[in-house]
Amino acid sequence: MSDLNATEYKTFEEIKIIRADGSEYWPARELAPVLDYAKWENFSKVIDRAMLACRNSGFEIADHFPDVRKMVDIGSETKRRVKDYELSRYACYLIVQNGDPRKEVIALGQTYFAIQTYRQEVADRFNQLDEDNKRLVVRGNIKQWNQMLAEAARDAGVITNEEFAVFQNAGYMGLYGGMSVEKIHDRKGLAIRDKILDYMGSEELIANLFRISQTESKLRREDIQGTTAANQAHYIVGREVRAAIERVGGTMPEDLPTPDKSISQIEKEQIAALKEIAKKKPLMLDG
């Protein structure tokens, strides 16, 4: 992410307000200048289009665009009551989708609010899943992030399979208090061909997902070069994730229980079940 992108993302976060009940909103009057709208009249037109999109999507406008009145300064010791909106994340997403595409910050806003909206949707769905399906979801995310991490590591100079194995080991050692991949493998009582990540519960997987994603970001953000520097970065991120777990009183990853079933086995069972369901469904004939 460029410095400009990072600054804008920080600004979107800075103007976000958290209510007493934990819900969040963005004041429209503060969002307007962030999105490079100097005149409220022009921004108000964008809000109108976003409201229409909200209604056409089947959502209640009042749930995402509640209007409020606030006092603003218009001169020396003079105030005026003006209209404002407490915009939900989804409302902001619709606003940037309907904003002026020529503005660079609009493109940044589209990315930011799309990601935030997606994360909330995933979180809502994730909390409703049982443990096996949580493991499947996080393991799938890890596969994608591991690919991105491998690319970032290669750009940093981690080229050969042997170098990448050392690089990966450094991250595990940071997160697992100095335990190598081999020691973690032994502690879990796994067979030689078993993959460590396939025998982690959702909590342990999430810790590793954070390690992987933050290392990828650090390598690219700091333009780290050289195998030694890359290994050190991976170790440091793993160590910091471990420290964060300790600060909140969490269980260290090596002390978390090892599931009986591998994620590969769960995946095969669920695919087989889906195929059985498909077999029982009647054929739909055109007519």
Tokens for 3?
């410095």
- Answer for the pair 217, 162: CB distance below 8 angstroms, yes or no: no
What is the SS3 assignment for 159?
Answer: coil
**The pLDDT of residue 284 is above 60:** no
**pLDDT for 157:** 97
**The pLDDT of residue 202 is above 70:** yes
What is the SS3 assignment for 156?
Answer: helix
Phi and psi, residue 67, nearest 5°: -95, 145
Q: Which long-range contacts (CB under 8 A, 24 or more apart) does 98-106 make?
A: 98/46, 98/49, 98/50, 98/53, 99/35, 99/46, 100/46, 103/35, 103/36, 104/4, 105/8, 105/34, 105/35, 105/36, 106/35, 106/36
Mean pLDDT of 125-143: 85
State the pairing for strand pair 24-27/78-87: antiparallel
pLDDT band for 286, please (50, 70, 90 cuts): very low
284 versus 97: the higher-pLDDT residue is 97
> In the chain, pLDDT over 70 holds for what percent of residues?
87
Contacts of 148 by beta carbon, 8 Å cutoff, 6+ apart:
216
Round to whole Å and give the CA distance between 18 and 26.
Answer: 9
**pLDDT for 77:** 65
pLDDT band for 156, please (50, 70, 90 cuts): very high
Would you give the DSSP letter of residue 83? E
pLDDT band for 255, please (50, 70, 90 cuts): very high
